[in-house]
A = this chain, B = another copy of it.
Amino acid sequence: MFFFFPKFISYIEINYCSTNYINETLFSPDDSNHVGEQPMRMTLAEPKYLKESIAVISELVAETQFKITTDAIQIVAMDPANVAMVVFKLLSSTFVEYDVKQETIITINLNSLKQVLRRAKPADQLTLEQEENKLKIILKGTSTRTFHLPIIEAEEREQKVPDLKFAATVTTESSTLNDAVEDVDIIGESVTFAAEEGKLTISSAGDLSKAKVEIPADEETKIVVEGKQKSKYSIEYLKKMILGGKLADKAIVKFSNDYPLRLEYAVLNKMQLAFILAPRVDND
């Protein structure tokens, strides 16, 4: 059993830019054009969407690029083993203040960022600023807390989200999906998603044991599928991805026969957290 990389990798275009964008364009100490002007300032009244998303993403990716445009903060990142991709977008409409004059790309260690964000209380106001080669995070509650994290000088490697067509789309409660993945986790290391008219089946098998969860289409669960679709994935990755259920009540799962799976959590006009997971294919 192995991960079917070559096929999946072909879905993804990776752009390498030879110039070190961060260093040369924005943060070089002698680049006097940019010193003195504030490249950006963004304030969230509810730190939750950023805090919880980064906590989930940091389970898959240790450090990543943030692309900050005039519309949104975005992450498109691949996990180190090239098995899962995360696509995160926090829309400018989520912010009470969003002052971004030009597109900026910064690389940040997600574990450090997660630890800072974990200190944000629900009622805190969270402001992000760039200060020379640091990301400045201000948490304002009864006291004001200011954190500076280094912006990492990284080779820019913009990931593109692969253009995938899925033959099965299931919309269900996040908690139903989480329960199912945790149910089959008892038995095996890989999990099979199978959809047919009216039913999603999530299953796993060990040497002698097996587990199967049937989720019927109903008020809470919508299933749109062409014929029967079935594919197998790593349960270890799925367990990290379903943590996104903290952010949205509904999960959207898309897959096709022996094809990547896309799992999406979205909050209208606020954020979208999606994952793409390579299928696992038996080599026998």
**Chain A residues within 8 Å of B, Cβ to Cβ:** 112, 115-116, 119, 134, 139, 142-150, 176, 179-180, 182-183, 186-187, 208-216, 220
Contacts and interface: CB of A to CB of B under 8 A. Distances in A.
User: How many copies of this chain does one complex carry?
Assistant: 3
A186 B147 contact: yes
Contacts of A210: 147-148
A214 B148 CA distance: 14
Nearest to A207: B150
A15 to B, nearest CB: 28
A211 B176 contact: no
B176 A213 contact: no
A7 B202 CA distance: 53
Nearest to A172: B143
Between A149, A182, A220, the greatest number of chain B beta carbons within 10 A of the residue's beta carbon is seen for: A149
A147 B209 contact: yes
A241 to B, nearest CB: 19
A148 B182 CA distance: 16
A174 to B, nearest CB: 13
A145 B211 CA distance: 7
Contacts of A208: 134, 149-150
Given A143-B214, A145-B214, A147-B210, 6 more contacts: A116-B186, A119-B183, A139-B183, A145-B180, A145-B212, A148-B211
A98 B28 CA distance: 71
Nearest to A179: B143
25 contacts: A112-B186, A112-B209, A115-B186, A116-B186, A119-B179, A119-B182, A119-B186, A139-B183, A142-B176, A143-B213, A143-B215, A144-B213, A144-B214, A145-B183, A145-B213, A145-B214, A146-B211, A146-B212, A146-B214, A147-B187, A147-B211, A147-B212, A148-B210, A149-B208, A150-B208
A211 to B, nearest CB: 5
A144 B208 CA distance: 21
Between A150, A176, A182, the greatest number of chain B beta carbons within 10 A of the residue's beta carbon is seen for: A150
